[in-house]
């Protein structure tokens, strides 16, 4: 069963010519429709995330300023990120959609959630919009779950590092953040040596891969680097920052993933979901509409055991040594972090 | 007093960033410091056919006009938002001892309460920061 928010393109949040555009939601809807799930799709009405729900991860002053900026007519927040008069309300509903989908999954104790909202969220920092993102949708839901006592795994397979999400949970041992991303690439963070703050050592796993990397490289790194840490963390919930700009046809990155690779990634994620109704995916990037449509279909088809058409998974690209290199860089960084923590405890 | 060996200048090709670069070049000459013109590449830059060659030629021209050896000035292009990229410049490999920025940037984003790179740098910079006012900022009494 698929639990999805009521799909809306949010045409009032648009900057003509900008790649983060309303038609992206239509592509997701077409991808879901291609699976012919019939009555196995449950649509959930989002609520507007409250200030208290947003303030778990965002600074109150930022929320006030963002709302005021939008109601003053909006404009460009930085070189990449825009806001319109309606963006504040739309962003609140986007964050609330994640909470609504998670609540519905909890109530049913079954199904897979997909939060198909825009603007995306994983670059949004506690106190700043960035990288097309206003509010950090996945982080708002992860923080809500953590406050209920859950151990939350966030897997981020967007082509860009989710710097906002990482920073929000940098020192929070209740959340394990795992990111595969192209490096170097915007936002310039996400090296393997970033392993978490002193209160959350080994709760951040970054797997940077070079341009030209293929799905087999990501799979091997997830198996060899992330899987042992995930096993030890033993998550009770799994959220995915599901960006589709790592697809080879996407204009925003240089990785060579195919739609079939997203099915492969989804199956790997499913292996670590602890129980039915404990997995929700959040749309992040993905700017080639056809690649977005086919990749969303492949992701959800794989998770729901529904037939889907997808290209063959990719293999043989750049970065064949990524897993070994990341493992070694993390080993050194973890030793340093644990030594620093011991020094702090001694003091 | 801290030795100033490397000065990182936020440089986006705007008139204000040129003013900042010239200010940094004037400071660097007597100190014997090197100047690194730092350009942050955002998400959209890869869609805009952006090339570093224009920046490099501008930096070279300004250096020559101010009698600075071109070898003492370099251009560094980094992925990320302007503030974060400049903050990182105080760490290896740039290792800047001083950050210099213009007050307004390229003018594509008004900043207002949310986005001014120079104001945010004032809070986040890990080394000394100089904000060079543009001609527009100088108000006659």
Encode pLDDT of B49-76 as tens digits: 777 888 889 889 988 888 877 778 999 9
pLDDT at A95: 98
Closest residue in A to B107 (Cα) is A79
Contacts 24+ apart (CB under 8 A), A6-11: A6/A43, A6/A44, A6/A45, A6/A46, A6/A97, A7/A43, A7/A116, A9/A118, A10/A86, A10/A90, A10/A94, A10/A117, A10/A118
**How many residues in total does chain A contain?**
347
CB atoms A76 and B81 under 8 Å? no
**pLDDT of A72 strictly over 90:** yes
Q: Looking at A104-118, A278-292, B126-140, which range is the least confident one?
A: B126-140
**ipTM score of complex:** 0.86
- In this structure, the strands spanning A2-5 and A112-115 are parallel
**pLDDT of B109 strictly over 60:** no
A123 catalytic per annotation: yes
pLDDT confidence tier of residue A248, bands split at 50, 70 and 90: very high
- For residue B108, what is the DSSP state? S
Average pLDDT, integer, range A65-89: 94
Closest residue in B to A82 (Cα) is B109
Strand partners, A241: A156, A282
Residue in A123, A160, A181, A247 annotated catalytic? A123
Q: So where are chain B's domains?
A: 6-137
Average pLDDT, integer, range A141-155: 98
Which CATH code is given to the segment(s) B6-137?
3.40.50.620
**pLDDT of A180 strictly over 50:** yes
CB atoms A69 and B85 under 8 Å? no
**Pairs across A and B, CB distance < 8 A:** 73
Average pLDDT, integer, range B89-109: 82
**pLDDT of B111 strictly over 80:** no
Whether B81 contacts chain A with CB within 8 A: yes
Whether B109 contacts chain A with CB within 8 A: yes
Closest to A275 (Cα-Cα) out of A235, A231, A228, A229: A235
Closest residue to A66, CB basis, from B79, B88, B114 = B114
**pLDDT of A255 strictly over 90:** yes
**pLDDT of B5 strictly over 50:** yes
H or E stretch at A76? strand A75-76
Testing the interface with B: which of A162, A164, A188 to mutate, by most B Cβ within 10 A?
Answer: A188
pLDDT confidence tier of residue A79, bands split at 50, 70 and 90: confident
pLDDT confidence tier of residue A23, bands split at 50, 70 and 90: very high
List CB contacts (< 8 A) between B85 and chain A: 188
Share of chain A above pLDDT 70, in %: 100
Residue B89 and residue B76 in contact, taking contact as beta carbons nearer than 8 Å: yes
A124 or B120: which leads in pLDDT: A124
CB atoms A68 and B78 under 8 Å? no
Testing the interface with A: which of B13, B40, B41, B43 to mutate, by most A Cβ within 10 A?
Answer: B43
Average pLDDT, integer, range A136-159: 98
Average pLDDT, integer, range B18-47: 91
Average pLDDT, integer, range A108-124: 98
pLDDT at A153: 98
Residue B109, min C-alpha distance to chain A (Å): 5
Closest residue to B41, CB basis, from A66, A160, A186 = A186
In chain A the first and final C-alpha atoms are separated, in Å, by 52
């Amino acid at each position: 069963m698929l639990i999805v928010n009521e799909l809306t393109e949010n045409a009032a949040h648009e900057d003509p010519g900008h790649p983060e555009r309303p038609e992206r939601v239509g592509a997701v809807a077409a991808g879901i429709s291609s699976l012919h799930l019939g009555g196995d799709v449950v649509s959930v009405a989002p609520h507007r995330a409250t200030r208290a729900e947003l303030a778990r991860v965002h600074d109150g002053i930022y929320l006030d300023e963002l709302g005021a900026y939008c109601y003053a007519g909006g404009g460009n927040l930085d070189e990449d990120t825009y806001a319109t008069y309606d963006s504040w309300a739309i962003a609140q509903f986007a964050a609330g959609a994640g909470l609504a989908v998670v609540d519905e999954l909890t109530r049913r104790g079954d199904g897979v959630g997909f939060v198909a909202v825009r603007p995306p969220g994983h670059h949004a920092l506690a106190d700043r919009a960035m990288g097309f993102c206003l509010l950090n949708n996945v982080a708002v839901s992860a923080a809500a779950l953590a406050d209920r006592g859950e151990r939350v795994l966030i897997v981020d397979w967007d082509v860009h590092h989710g710097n906002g999400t990482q920073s929000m949970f940098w020192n929070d041992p209740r959340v394990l953040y795992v990111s595969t991303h192209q490096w170097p690439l915007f936002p310039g963070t996400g090296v393997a040596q970033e392993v978490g703050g002193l209160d959350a050592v080994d709760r951040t796993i970054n797997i940077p891969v070079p341009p030209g990397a293929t799905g087999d490289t990501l799979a091997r790194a997830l198996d060899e680097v992330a899987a042992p840490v995930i096993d030890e963390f033993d998550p009770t919930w799994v959220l995915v920052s599901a960006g589709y700009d790592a697809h080879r046809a996407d204009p925003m990155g240089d990785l060579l993933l195919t739609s079939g690779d997203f099915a492969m990634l989804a199956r790997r994620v499913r292996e670590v979901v602890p129980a039915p109704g404990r997995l929700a995916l959040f749309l992040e990037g993905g700017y080639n509409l056809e690649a977005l449509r086919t990749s969303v279909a492949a992701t959800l088809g794989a998770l729901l055991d529904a037939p889907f058409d997808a290209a063959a998974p990719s293999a043989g690209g750049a970065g064949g040594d990524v897993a070994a290199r990341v493992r070694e860089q993390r080993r050194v960084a973890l030793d340093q972090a644990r030594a620093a923590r011991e020094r702090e405890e001694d003091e | 007093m801290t030795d100033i060996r490397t000065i990182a200048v936020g440089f986006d090709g705007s008139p204000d960033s040129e003013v900042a670069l010239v200010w940094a070049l004037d400071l660097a000459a007597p100190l014997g410091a090197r100047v690194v013109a730092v350009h942050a590449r955002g998400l959209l830059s890869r869609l805009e056919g952006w090339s570093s060659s224009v920046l490099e030629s501008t930096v070279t021209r300004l250096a020559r006009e101010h009698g600075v050896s071109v070898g003492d000035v370099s251009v560094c292009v980094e992925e990320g938002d302007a503030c974060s990229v400049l903050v990182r410049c105080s760490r290896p490999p740039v290792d800047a001892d001083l950050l210099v920025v213009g007050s307004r940037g390229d003018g594509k984003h008004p900043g207002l309460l949310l986005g001014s790179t120079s104001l945010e740098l004032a809070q986040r910079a890990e080394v000394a920061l100089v904000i060079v006012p543009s001609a527009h900022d100088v108000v006659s009494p």
